[in-house]
Amino acid sequence: MTTVYEIVSKDNEKIILKDIENNSYYKIENTMQSNVNVSPFLEDVKPIFNYILLDDNPDVILFGIPFNQGSRAPLSQVNEFPQLLREASLKLTQLNHYPKPTSLNFFELDTQQTIDCGRVLDLGNIKKIENQSERDSIRKVTDYCLASTLPFICIGGDHSYTYDVISSFSKLDKKIVIWVLDAHNDLFGNSEKLDHGNVFLNIAQLPFVEAIIQIGSRGFRTNSQLIQHPKVIQITKKQSTKDKIEELLDKYKNLDSYLSIDMDALDPIYFPYVDFRVPNGFDKDELLEIINLIFNHSNIKAVDIVEGTVGGISNRGDYDIPVHLLIRILNNFFHQKRSDK
């Protein structure tokens, strides 16, 4: 009978295993090859849910984008969100097994269902290297993910970096639709200086982007802030009915899609840890319903979750909502991959 171990931790030299039955620990050499093409652009961190995947056969890839240089908020700390989300996920720590890996899964009490998330490879956080910008590093890692043909999830960081991720999709040489859940339209400002307030004005100029569908905008604007673009379809929070979204999903059903989630899409009553709060947003279940709807009617290639920031305590439940969103996104990717087979 093969002994089953839990993977407790790893670094470049060793892997720490726990013998589950005998409650004993062992150290073995780490012979796993790193992702040599992108490892210079990545910083090792404790992975999401402390789930360590040792092989090269994941169902989905995840990485953090811990940067804030594109934020208009003075002293923004959105660069801390990838770490805060990973820390919050450790309440649901799930140690992978060795030598035969197991999938990441959770039991949801509300629905009394097991939520399968598949095999998740957390690459770590993107880092800036000498003589290159952080945007160069993002494109290198995104290129690697696209070459793998696996779906991937980026945890930001400010929203401007969505531009760098999507720019890499030009290599696929096909049209793509961008779905955005956000309290703001991010179309305002000088497009020559990319930031999180004009990121979708810049993305709309990419020739392979067929359409940008923005869902959830709310609040007040001045006349000068009411920006229209022929590629951008704006659906306010009040207009975001299931019928309206399904109509657009049907229109673009033959194109690949990308989903971008700004945490300020949520009402600040439920998630106040953003730089620009706008009242009367979605609750968690409303947002999840839209996310599931988009996944069920389109071929999502990648997702980003951005613009969360400091202010809460990660081990006291303050960041549970983005963790729940992440679990459901992983679950959607898992089922999407299974249905493609």
Strand order in the sheet with 176-181: 42-43, 120-126, 60-65, 152-156, 299-306, 256-262, 176-181, 209-217, 232-236
| Cα 324 to Cα 52, 285, 287, 288, 329, distances in angstroms | 19, 10, 11, 9, 9
Q: What is the pLDDT of residue 56?
A: 78
The pLDDT of residue 195 is above 80: yes
Q: What is the pLDDT of residue 256?
A: 97
Length of the chain: 341
- What angle do helix axes 284-296 and 242-251 make, rounded to 10 degrees? 30
Tell me if residue 323 falls in helix, strand or coil.
helix
> Cβ(84)–Cβ(308) under 8 Å?
yes
Q: What pLDDT is stored for residue 35 in this prediction?
A: 67
- Residue 340 is predicted with a pLDDT of 72
The domain 36-340 having CATH identifier 1.20.1050.10: the answer here is no
Residue 196 scores a pLDDT above 90: yes
Q: What is the mean pLDDT of the chain?
A: 94
Spatial separation of the C-alpha atoms in residues 98 and 65, rounded to whole Å? 29
Rg (CA), the chain: 20
Q: How confident is the model at residue 124 (pLDDT cuts 50, 70, 90)?
A: very high
Q: Tens digit of pLDDT for each residue in 57-75?
A: 899 999 999 999 999 999 9
Locate the domains of the chain by residue range: 1-31, 36-340
**H-type alpha helices, the chain:** 81-89, 134-148, 162-167, 199-203, 242-251, 284-296, 320-340
Distance (Å, whole) CA 86 – CA 102: 20
pTM of the model: 0.95
Query: Within 10 Å of residue 131's Cβ, how many Cβ atoms?
Result: 6
Bridge partners of 64, per DSSP, are: 125, 155
Question: Residue 12's pLDDT is what?
Answer: 83
Helix or strand or coil: residue 133?
Answer: coil
